[in-house]
Amino acid sequence: MSKFGERIHVHTGDITRLAVDAIVNAANSSLLGGGGVDGAIHRAAGPELEFECRMLNGCKVGEAKLTKGYHLPARYIIHAVGPVWQGGGKGEAGLLASCYIRSLEIAAARDCRTVAFPAISTGIYRYPKNEATQIAVGIAGTFVGQNSTPETVIFCCFDEPTAQLYRQAVAAIEGC
């Protein structure tokens, strides 16, 4: 069995279709919906989601907040706000790492056995994909090494080249 015992998976597809305990949304700090994966999640979850989000008073960059999944197959949505890439000198790496840590902590606190992440910040927020992937996989590897919940972390990539980057990053930490 591999080092992580199959606890980190890479999947290619639409995160809104995943029947997991929690999906993570790459939200913006208003939490009121936007483009990319955020728009897709709001459309698939239905208007009740925006109603709940309005009561949350936004979310800071590097933080995350939980809502119900409404019409999604996922039970919960963890809305994480990633940093906008500004060249790397504005604390972006720490803020992106914090998004993943906070999301995993929230998932663990709700006893989520499976949690799925999109590639936070790598779309409209322009974070370089390779660097973002190293952070995402590094945090997940450390977290599953130290915690029994979530049992499984899924990286849900929207395209195959991104999935390939994730598979390489998972293989690299497996070999450590």
Smallest separation, CB 143 to ligand ADP (Å)? 20
Residues involved in catalysis: 38
**Residue 33 binding ligand ADP, by CB under 6 A:** no
Burial 74-85 (b: 16+ CB within 10 A, else e): bbbbbbbbbbeb
**Residue 32 binding ligand ADP, by CB under 6 A:** no
Nearer to ligand ADP, 23 or 149 (CB): 23
SS3 call for 38: helix
**Under 8 Å CB-to-CB from 66, ≥6 apart: which residues?**
22, 76, 77, 78, 79, 106, 110
Strands of the sheet with 76-81, listed across from one edge = 8-12, 152-157, 114-117, 22-27, 76-81, 64-68
Smallest separation, CB 119 to ligand ADP (Å)? 4
Binding residues among 89-148 for ligand ADP as defined by CB under 6 A: 118-125
**Residue 26 binding ligand ADP, by CB under 6 A:** yes
Work out which of 16, 67, 103, 149 binds ligand ADP, going by CB under 6 A: 16
Work out which of 70, 76, 158, 166 binds ligand ADP, going by CB under 6 A: 158
DSSP element (H, E) containing 107: helix 92-109
What six digits make up the tokens of 66? 């939980």
**Residue 156 binding ligand ADP, by CB under 6 A:** yes
Q: Which chain residues interact with ligand ADP by CB under 6 A? A: 14-16, 26, 36-38, 40, 82, 118-125, 156, 158
